[in-house]
Amino acid sequence: MSTANTAQTAPALRAAAAAAGAGAAAAAGLGAWGVVVERRRFQLRTERLRLLPAGSPPLRILHLSDLHVWPGQRSVKDFVHSLAQLQPDLVVDTGDNLSHPEALPWLLEILEPLLRFPGAYVPGSNCYFAPRLKNPLRYLWRDTSGEARDEAPRLPTRAMHDAFDAAGWTPLINRSARMEVAGLRLDLSGVDDPHLGYDRHPGFGAPGTADLRLGVAHAPYLRTLDRFAADGADLVLAGHTHGGQVCLPGGRALVSNCDLEPERCKGLITQGGVPVNISAGLGTSRFAPIRLFCPPEAVLLTLTD
Ligand SMILES: [Fe+2]
């Protein structure tokens, strides 16, 4: 009896071991794909929205987010430089630009062709505090809003913003601004990073005085999106979520790293009746350099009447 059982069990064990080996190999291959290929598979997503008053010329907004630059990166530079060919009317950077205290020269080299266009920006937590090696993957599955400031190395925030300002980009750090772009009057309102609790909404200018009211934030917390809607925004731009970064096949996100539902954490969504473009971002933390079923992206929004 025991001999027969042994004879039946051995093939079953070998099959299980083979299946486990194949599963491990598949997982390792998927991980390698995510580290080597997917996080460099840069995409340009295009969106078209009818938001402008009748008779307005089209407005092309290039939305960048979450570059998370560290020294030595080259592939993202080639992609970002290629975006200058789009000749956008306005570039909007929704933050998380750095992932290393010495990365500012690399960031400015990456952005250089785009800094020649009119631009506006808000910071994210990774414009203030560098990521740490400790528990590096926490970004992917848990709320990190309370962790960013704990003993984290400071990033060169002031120098980065000075460089943006010198290039003519408009800071929207808890402030509003009026811009004349492509013959249109834009009323912009931005907040400092809601993920850090730094957000203080400045509101928009007087009603009826702009062709477009644009809200800008790094992290798309519901309170932030709802407040922009209440203030009268026509469109909101945000980043932060990385689109879930490590997703299921089909791009289904498991986390948003904020209180927005994961299934709405990238692409064009609507909140409070207002369209919100959430960029899946262009980078990752340098301590979690992987993307799965969620390629990095820039977004070109063409607004028409
Ligand atoms: Fe980010």
CA of 5 to the centre of ligand 1 (A): 55
Give me the pLDDT at residue 251, please: 96
**If you average pLDDT over every residue of the chain, what do you get?**
91
- Which whole number is the average pLDDT over 218-234? 98
What is the distance in A from the centroid of ligand 1 to the CA of 270?
Answer: 21
- Rounded to the nearest angstrom, the distance between the alpha carbon of 241 and the centre of ligand 1 is 7
Provide φ and ψ at 237, rounded to 5°.
-120, 140
- Find the 302 Cα to ligand 1 centroid distance in Å: 24
Between the CA of 198 and the centroid of ligand 1 the distance, in Å, is: 16
C-beta of residue 201 within 8 angstroms of C-beta of residue 178: no
Average pLDDT, integer, range 114-126:
98
218 CA distance to ligand 1 centroid (A)?
9
244 confidence band (pLDDT: 50, 70, 90): very high
Q: Which of residues 94 and 38 earns the better pLDDT score?
A: 94
Q: Report the candidate in 59, 63, 56 with the shortest Cα–Cα distance to residue 303.
A: 59
Distance 66 CA to ligand 1 centre (A): 4
Of the ranges 24-28, 134-138, 177-181, 248-252, which one carries the lowest mean pLDDT score?
134-138
In this structure, which residues have their CB less than 5 angstroms from ion ligand 1? Answer: 66, 96
How many whole angstroms from 193 Cα to the centroid of ligand 1?
11
Mean pLDDT value of segment 175-183: 97
For residue 62, the CA-to-ligand 1 centroid distance in Å is 18
Q: Return the minimum-mean-pLDDT range out of 10-19, 221-230, 289-298.
A: 10-19
CA 96 to ligand 1 centroid distance, Å: 5
Mean pLDDT confidence for 163-186: 98
Q: How far is the CA of 204 from the centre of ligand 1 (A)?
A: 26
Report how far ligand 1's centroid is from the alpha carbon of 284 (Å). Answer: 7
Q: How far is the CA of 235 from the centre of ligand 1 (A)?
A: 21
**d(Cα 17, Cα 157) in Å, to the nearest integer?**
52
CA–centroid distance, 256 to ligand 1, in Å, is 11
For the chain, the structural domain boundaries read 41-304
Query: How remote is the CA of residue 245 from the centroid of ligand 1, in Å?
Result: 10
pLDDT digits (tens, 9 = 90+) for 94-119: 999 999 999 999 999 999 999 999 99
Least confident of 129-143, 149-163, 182-196: 129-143
Contacts of residue 166, Cβ cutoff 8 Å, sequence gap at least 6:
none
Contact 130, 154 (CB under 8 A): yes
Fold of 41-304: Purple Acid Phosphatase; chain A, domain 2 (3.60.21)
Give residue 280 CA to ligand 1 midpoint distance, Å. 9
Q: Which of 12-16, 33-37, 100-104 has the lowest mean pLDDT?
A: 12-16
